[in-house]
């Protein structure tokens, strides 16, 4: 739950081109039932290249230039704004917004929410159960430790859950999904992939021994799918399974490397 609103992982976030917006009103997000606490508001100018937050909860808004922001302790809200920004959440449950241009968002400790924005961004959740949204652009998302939720958005994204039981949603574009260790769920919808195999999502490490699953949303079921065996990587490559929609276009949804159809376990979400 974020600021009193449940984030639905399986629906695209607001696509306004800048990764969402959120006004600053001098209070921190509601910590769970009590009155919101005060926080320190910091607005950077174009001369501010490096900024360090306080030990408490901060609201930091970046400048139009490239910024380096270390939020430190507390439950912080950071807006990178324009420029190629580097934002470190520090301790606490932080919300990091990259907004425009190519940003690096590092959640560090705590249960963090990271929004990449409109360009090619790098998001790393760090420790804790994190939620990462790539939004537009060709983004790289790393859940790192614990049970994370990764949502690629538009563009050809790279999602890596790391350790823990992670949920990976590629969404639009040709995405590469790596669950890492743990019981991971790779989510497919009708708008996943495209009309050719080159537009399909690539699932690199589906492991039935770790109880990995293919999650289906938007009313999709296994009966809506068809399966083909393929070889990925040329003549000496690995076997894989192509998952396609059983419709007139026969859209390519995903290619699962290193498995056979009987290895796949599906769940309706």
pLDDT digits (tens, 9 = 90+) for 210-264: 999 999 999 999 999 999 999 887 667 789 999 999 987 889 999 999 999 999 9
Pure H helices in the chain: none
Q: Given the structure tokens 């068809």, which residue do they identify?
A: 226
Say whether pLDDT at 47 is over 90: no
Point out the least confidently predicted range of 8-12, 28-32, 261-265: 28-32
User: What's the pLDDT score for residue 86?
Assistant: 95
Q: Given the structure tokens 């609103």, which residue do they identify?
A: 5
The 8-class DSSP code of residue 223 comes to G
Say whether pLDDT at 88 is over 60: yes
Say whether pLDDT at 69 is over 50: yes
Q: Quick one: CA dihedral 47, 51, 57, 62, positive or negative?
A: positive
User: What's the pLDDT score for residue 150?
Assistant: 98
Average pLDDT over residues 126-145: 96
Per-residue three-class SS string for 164-178: CCCEEECCCCCCEEE
101: CB partners within 8 A, 6+ apart? 82, 83, 84, 85, 117, 119
**pLDDT over 70 for what percent of the chain?**
84
Say whether pLDDT at 27 is over 60: no
Cβ neighbours of 5 (radius 10 Å) = 8
Say whether pLDDT at 8 is over 50: no
CA distances from 195 to 61, 230, 243, 248 (A): 41, 17, 12, 11
Nearest to 232 by CA among 195, 206, 194: 206
246: CB partners within 8 A, 6+ apart? 223, 224, 225, 226
Q: Residue 220 and residue 253: Cα distance in Å, rounded?
A: 12
More confident residue, 147 or 52: 147
User: What's the pLDDT score for residue 263?
Assistant: 97
**Tokens at 185, concatenated:** 């769920």
End-to-end CA distance of the chain: 19
User: What's the pLDDT score for residue 49?
Assistant: 72
| Coil, strand or helix at 262 | helix
217: CB partners within 8 A, 6+ apart? 10, 187, 188, 189, 268, 269
Say whether pLDDT at 26 is over 90: no
**Tokens at 262, concatenated:** 């009987």
Q: Residue 88 and residue 228: Cα distance in Å, rounded?
A: 44
Average pLDDT over residues 138-147: 96
Please report which confidence band the pLDDT of residue 29 belongs to, taking 50, 70 and 90 as the band edges.
very low
Please report which confidence band the pLDDT of residue 85 belongs to, taking 50, 70 and 90 as the band edges.
very high
Please report which confidence band the pLDDT of residue 37 belongs to, taking 50, 70 and 90 as the band edges.
low
User: What's the pLDDT score for residue 44?
Assistant: 84
């Amino acid at each position: 739950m974020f600021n009193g609103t449940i984030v639905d992982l399986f629906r695209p976030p607001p696509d306004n081109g800048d990764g969402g917006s959120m006004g600053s009103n001098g209070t921190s997000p509601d910590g769970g039932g009590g009155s919101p606490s005060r926080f320190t508001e910091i607005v950077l100018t174009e001369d501010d290249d490096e900024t360090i937050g306080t030990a408490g909860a901060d609201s930091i808004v970046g400048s139009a230039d490239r910024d380096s922001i270390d939020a430190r302790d507390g439950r912080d809200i950071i807006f990178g704004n324009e420029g190629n920004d580097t934002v470190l959440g520090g301790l606490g449950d932080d919300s990091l917004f990259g907004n425009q241009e190519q940003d690096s968002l590092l959640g560090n400790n705590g249960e963090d929410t990271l929004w990449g924005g409109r360009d090619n961004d790098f998001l790393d959740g760090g420790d804790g159960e994190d939620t990462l949204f790539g939004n537009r652009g060709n983004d790289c998302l790393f859940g790192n430790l614990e049970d994370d939720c990764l949502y690629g958005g538009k563009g050809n994204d790279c999602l890596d859950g790391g350790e823990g039981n992670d949920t990976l949603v590629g969404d639009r574009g040709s995405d590469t999904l790596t669950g890492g260790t743990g019981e991971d769920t790779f989510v497919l919808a009708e708008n996943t992939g495209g009309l050719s195999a080159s537009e399909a999502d690539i699932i690199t490490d589906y492991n039935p021994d770790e109880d990995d699953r293919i999650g289906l949303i938007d009313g999709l079921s296994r009966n809506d799918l068809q399966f083909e065996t393929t070889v990925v990587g040329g003549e000496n490559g690995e076997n894989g399974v192509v998952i396609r929609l059983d419709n007139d276009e026969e859209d390519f949804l995903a290619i699962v490397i290193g498995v056979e159809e009987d290895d796949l376990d599906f769940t309706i979400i």
